[in-house]
Structure 1
């Protein structure tokens, strides 16, 4: 449906529950290392505690401080979805709070990712409902529009497509294209195994540090 200043696209299914759960327990840092170390959020903060977040993106682009289209997006949200809101990164007015969190919980929504402000952070901390945002303010939202639902958005410099897999923890938020998910998962599992092996080597003073001097020597050679 397309109208002046309003665009509402169909929901994109994304990965199924079993595919999503394969990412459970994988740190965002490890996934990021396997995605070129050049994507993901840098300024969004978890408002709920340390609980991780995994789910499929339902995207909203809204005018700063306005949540009319966010309310409309609730008609499309399903269990396991993540509400991803591009509110232009401004924090003058909160676009979600306790009441919208309660509605999301009733729908078994996985969590919120808000490039903007939220309020009622005590409620998010109490329930542990995953919520990542750029800022916090007590000032409530406007409800005038315009906006878009299920279009491509930008969250803290990260491009998010509808249906992307959203993975987040205390280190930040990543969006993974469904077609890339299997490859990222495979690389991340190997990466975690490698890091565990390194930790074991540290514990037994068996870390091979020769690569550091070799890298420095190579750098010096390149500069000569």
Structure 2
């Protein structure tokens, strides 16, 4: 490398989903969103809701603001907090680094004060009780009391691979106690169009199951045409 990179790079303009697009995902289960994207879109299951449904709000929807920190770093997250808009979901990429917190209670409190809708990281956090007091929903890989550094280099407003999924700033994040789903910006309207069909299918099947339905017609068909066989 000829020159050292700057400590922090911040993207000046990010294209965000509209308020109408964001509202279409409010209260929608992540499973429905995945079903509208051919069963895909969720981050690795190691990234869980902090508290697993206890103590903190369990649903967050908003534009991703990606802070690409690197291992044991928080400088990019600091930059993201500085430029975040109300309703953003700050995504801290620490490249899966373990045994170091990506944020603590005071930082989560500042994000809450800024109007951030949620915090997602492929690393750990610390100060559980304080984060609960702050009231910011968090998705992470666990807890560690170790502190990060703020030396950089870091990037804000670009993209990163988090939990095995490429997240670009401006993509839509939908998160609940089941996990975190990324809707790429270019697919938001197409996914919204499919959500109503998914909701209708789910509602119809739920009603049937509550009424005692347990048939697997697809298996009967496979047995009938030879795609499945029975044996001793």
Normalised to the residue count of structure 2, the TM-score between the two structures is 0.87
**Partner Cα distance (1:15, 1:48) in 2:** 29
Q: Does 1:176 align with 2:179?
A: no
Worse-superposed segment, 189-198 or 31-40: 31-40
Residue 65 of structure 2 is aligned with which of 58, 65, 68? 58
The answer (yes or no) to whether the contact 1:34–1:188 under 8 Å persists in 2 is yes
**Partner Cα distance (1:102, 1:49) in 2:** 20
Worse-superposed segment, 82-91 or 14-23: 14-23
The answer (yes or no) to whether the contact 2:105–2:134 under 8 Å persists in 1 is no
Give the equivalent residue in structure 2 for 1:138.
Answer: 145
**Partner Cα distance (2:13, 2:148) in 1:** 25
Unaligned runs of 5+ in 2: none
Worse-superposed segment, 105-114 or 66-75: 66-75
**Partner Cα distance (2:192, 2:31) in 1:** 13
Change (3 A) 1:135 1:216: farther
The DSSP-based 3-state class of the residue aligned with 2:102 is strand
**Partner Cα distance (1:207, 1:186) in 2:** 29
State the aligned residue count.
Answer: 220
Q: Does 1:68 align with 2:81?
A: no
Q: Does 1:220 align with 2:223?
A: no
The answer (yes or no) to whether the contact 1:11–1:58 under 8 Å persists in 2 is no
Normalised to the residue count of structure 1, the TM-score between the two structures is 0.90
Residue 23 of structure 1 is aligned with which of 10, 22, 25? 25
The answer (yes or no) to whether the contact 1:82–1:113 under 8 Å persists in 2 is yes
**Partner Cα distance (1:216, 1:61) in 2:** 51
Worse-superposed segment, 183-192 or 210-219: 210-219
Worse-superposed segment, 169-178 or 7-16: 7-16
**Partner Cα distance (1:123, 1:216) in 2:** 57
The answer (yes or no) to whether the contact 2:34–2:42 under 8 Å persists in 1 is yes
**Partner Cα distance (2:131, 2:105) in 1:** 7
The answer (yes or no) to whether the contact 1:48–1:125 under 8 Å persists in 2 is no
- Point out 4+ residue stretches in structure 1 off by more than 6 angstroms: none
Worse-superposed segment, 69-78 or 157-166: 69-78
Instruction: Answer 1 or 2: which has greater strand percent.
Output: 1
Shift in Å, 1:19: 1.8
Give the equivalent residue in structure 2 for 1:44.
Answer: 47
Give the equivalent residue in structure 1 for 2:210.
Answer: 203
**Partner Cα distance (2:35, 2:101) in 1:** 32
Q: Does 1:12 align with 2:19?
A: no
Worse-superposed segment, 211-220 or 57-66: 211-220
Change (3 A) 1:36 1:3: same
Give the equivalent residue in structure 2 for 1:33.
Answer: 35
Change (3 A) 1:214 1:132: same
